Amino acid sequence: MTCGVEIHFLPGVAGSEAGLECILKRLRLLLPQSAYAPTAESVEKFLIDCQSSLSLDGEQKLFALALTTEGILCGFAQFRFYGSDADLDFILIDENQRGKGYGKFILDASLAQLRQKGVHRIVLEVSTQNTAALALYQSFGFNSLSVRKRYYRNGEDAAIMEKSI
């Protein structure tokens, strides 16, 4: 990976009000770049919940990762996990930063972090038309389980994929 690239796990480094607001500001610019990303309001709620949501046993059940290059947010991933299972909500890479291996970097770091948290299986939805994302997940050993018809706002189908880790 190139010099100046950093991974920030949330909650964590960006757990402060200032750090969280900085990430949210940049995410509001990145989210419209993807037909598959959730709304800015949804991500903002997730990040706020991420800072304070603990299960009854005191374990964090929400997890996000921000990738920065030279201090600028260029990638983001959002997960939820329940016991030994996790859901990958989305990975988003700045359109000007795509093709540099950042998606692979984010996924690799996320899998390592989720393993440490006791996760053994990850499930995700990905558009059947998103060939770059499909190739990334397949390269990491995700297997296709089924298809959800017209899952996305734009009417595209979603492939449901899983991976044991």
Active site residues: 125, 137
Cβ–Cβ < 8 Å for 92, 79? no
Report the run of H or E that residue 5 belongs to, with start and end.
strand 5-10
| Cα gap 60→58, rounded to integer Å | 7
Token pair for residue 133?
Answer: 């994302």
Token pair for residue 150?
Answer: 């017209």
| Cα gap 43→90, rounded to integer Å | 10
